[in-house]
Structure 1
Amino acid sequence: MKLYLFLFSVFLQSCLYAQESTASKSDSLAELKKIIFAERIIYNKKRCSEDSIRAVKASEIQNKYFINIAAPYGDKFLPGEELRMILKKHNIIWGGEWMGSDMGGYSGECYYSVMTELTEKKFGKDFIDGLVKESVAMYVKKHPDKIFDNDEHCEWTYKGKYLSYTDDNDQLNKDFFHNFIYPEGYENYNPSFQKYRSSTAITIILDQKGKVLKHQFSHRIYNDHNLKYIPYFEKEINKFIKYTKFEPVKYSGYPVKSETIFFIYYK
């Protein structure tokens, strides 16, 4: 019996030691991460300061313009070559796109952003924005059949307001449901057995004036009882599209033919 107690005591002490050792290693690792993170911040600030000074000095000799795109898979600025030609007329160098790091590293963003800011300050931001729009217009003229994706360079609003892609809290849904009457027998969203609210995604192709050239539906009806009302939903959405004046999608501020999407969320 004493032997069993002794062995149990040894086993218990080993477990406690292992737990303390694991906890100690975990604490050490957490502390190491803090140190590395702090050193990275110091390094990034130092590099940023150096690059900012370099941009200021370089701007005294030449002006460059860059466009920032989202990391890690930013969308290429399509009229890059057109913009290069237009900027060159004003002795501005097109530096291309740049993206920051999504991993907390430093990618030279301070040089690009400061240089661009100094160029905009010298020539005026409205003037530079006008040159960018001019480059888009030139690109569109060269590619009249181009249908732009709704990427990060594009902006689409409804009555001057951004749309919601998660719920019905936007002006478009408010306008649609202003005259919409739910069919008799329609069952409302019930969170007790439905994880999501039902909705319809409408993909539309708009011309440069906002006219709908083509559209298609994608329904997400999470209550099987309401599936029979899909034809009615489509009829009402078609009516809404017919009598609604949409704004065109703008690529860097210039209206373009584009494919975009909006959602109708049902109760």
Structure 2
Amino acid sequence: MVLNGAKVLGSLTILVLACFTMKNKRFESKSESFYQLKSDTILDSAYIADRNHWTKEEKKYWDSTCQSDTKRAESDIKNKKLTYFHYFGMVKQYRSNEEMNILLEKYNIQIDSTAYLCTVPSELQNCYATLMDKEIGRRFGGKFIDSLRNIAEIQYVKKNPDKLYDFEECDHIPRYPGDKTYEDFFKSYSRDFWKNVRYPDDFDYRKEGDYYSRISADFILSKTGTVSNIIIDLRFQNKKNYKYSSYFITHFKSFINNTKWIPAKSMGIAINSKVPLTLFFK
């Protein structure tokens, strides 16, 4: 029995490491509940394939664990004990867990955390947490957790007014004037830059089959619209064009500084953010 237990423990360790390695692949759906875990058809297939290779000890472990956790949850619920779980693994991670905990405590809901494993069927893991989720929804309403999470996210942003957000962290990315969509951002600034910048007469243009040459910039856009910390990276495939480096860099910096960028937002609040720009040469 000791040997079998060691085998199961070893398998679980591998599963945890595999899932945490894959967690940034974002299989969750942002259009649904803040909290609801979403399954993917590819993952479902992986669950089935992996389960077919489980040992008897592994199958027995997960079945018995789920049964035990379910009974414990039923007993706690009967005794009016509720617990909210923060999930880790292949699920969305939240920055506002501390704020969320304080809000939940007002409803006498305890806090815990658990891992979500990518190679274990959802119906056999976190059975205690799953039953608690359902009971919280039954008692307080299906949108209860979503509404609290929304409040917690707003509180987090307000408590961190000077935080610098990465481009992908923003609910509404920093915008070029007149942009209405995310796709517009990557077209309009490039279009307007080249309207006012001419190529030198002897500039060596890209030949068919060559890689694109580019100039990229990263800068900080404050919540008030101020630009700072511009960092330029210039790459020419044809080395002869490097003699025009200062020409293009100067124009690019001037373009960035003279544009009235629209600050990014998170939870409807203007925030400081990093902005990446890239222009390709002909």
TM-score above 0.5 = yes
TM-score with structure 1 length normalisation?
0.57
Instruction: Give the match for residue 187 of structure 2.
Output: 174
Instruction: Give the match for residue 38 of structure 1.
Output: 52
Offset of residue 200 of structure 1 = 1.2
* 1:180 partner SS: helix
RMSD of aligned residue pairs (Cα, Å): 4.4
Instruction: Give the match for residue 132 of structure 1.
Output: 149
1:18-57 CA-to-partner distances (Å, cap 9, x unmatched) read: xxxxxxxxxxxxxxxx997623398397479648845873
Picking from 231, 236, 239, the partner of 2:255 is: 236
* 1:177 partner SS: helix
Q: Are the counterparts in 1 of residues 89 and 117 from structure 2 also a CA contact under 8 Å?
A: no
* 1:201 partner SS: strand
Q: Are the counterparts in 2 of residues 48 and 111 from structure 1 also a CA contact under 8 Å?
A: no
Q: Which moved more, 1:111-120 or 1:197-206?
A: 111-120
User: Residues 232 and 56 of structure 1: is their aligned pair in 2 closer, same or farther, counting only changes over 3 Å?
Assistant: same
1:118-175 CA-to-partner distances (Å, cap 9, x unmatched) read: 5356534544233223334444555544x1543987544356755xxxxxxx320212
Instruction: Give the match for residue 44 of structure 2.
Output: none
State the distance in 2 between where 1:124 and 1:46 align.
Answer: 30
The structure with the largest alpha-carbon Rg is 1
Q: Are the counterparts in 2 of residues 200 and 265 from structure 1 also a CA contact under 8 Å?
A: yes
User: Residues 134 and 217 of structure 1: is their aligned pair in 2 closer, same or farther, counting only changes over 3 Å?
Assistant: same
Q: Are the counterparts in 2 of residues 83 and 94 from structure 1 also a CA contact under 8 Å?
A: no
Provide structure 2 residue ranges, at least 5 long, that are not aligned to the other structure: 1-47
User: Residues 142 and 244 of structure 1: is their aligned pair in 2 closer, same or farther, counting only changes over 3 Å?
Assistant: closer
Offset of residue 259 of structure 1 = 3.4
Letter in 2 for 1:94: I
Q: Is 1:219 the counterpart of 2:219 in the alignment?
A: no
User: Residues 45 and 84 of structure 1: is their aligned pair in 2 closer, same or farther, counting only changes over 3 Å?
Assistant: same
Percent identity between the two aligned chains: 17
In the comparison of the two structures, how many residue pairs are matched? Answer: 214
Picking from 109, 133, 150, the partner of 1:92 is: 109
1:239-263 CA-to-partner distances (Å, cap 9, x unmatched) read: 3xx3232331x2xx46463433333
* 1:40 partner SS: coil
User: Residues 95 and 36 of structure 1: is their aligned pair in 2 closer, same or farther, counting only changes over 3 Å?
Assistant: closer
Question: Aligned runs of 1:250-261 on 2, under 5 Å?
Answer: 250=266, 253=267, 255=269, 257-261=271-275
* 1:39 partner SS: coil
User: Residues 180 and 258 of structure 1: is their aligned pair in 2 closer, same or farther, counting only changes over 3 Å?
Assistant: closer
Provide structure 1 residue ranges, at least 5 long, that are not aligned to the other structure: 1-33, 163-169
Q: Are the counterparts in 1 of residues 51 and 120 from structure 2 also a CA contact under 8 Å?
A: no
State the distance in 2 between where 1:46 and 1:189 align.
Answer: 62
State the distance in 1 between where 2:107 and 2:64 align.
Answer: 30
State the distance in 2 between where 1:140 and 1:152 align.
Answer: 15
User: Residues 126 and 204 of structure 1: is their aligned pair in 2 closer, same or farther, counting only changes over 3 Å?
Assistant: farther
TM-score with structure 2 length normalisation?
0.54
State the distance in 1 between where 2:206 and 2:64 align.
Answer: 53
Instruction: Give the match for residue 214 of structure 2.
Output: 198
State the distance in 1 between where 2:192 and 2:129 align.
Answer: 50
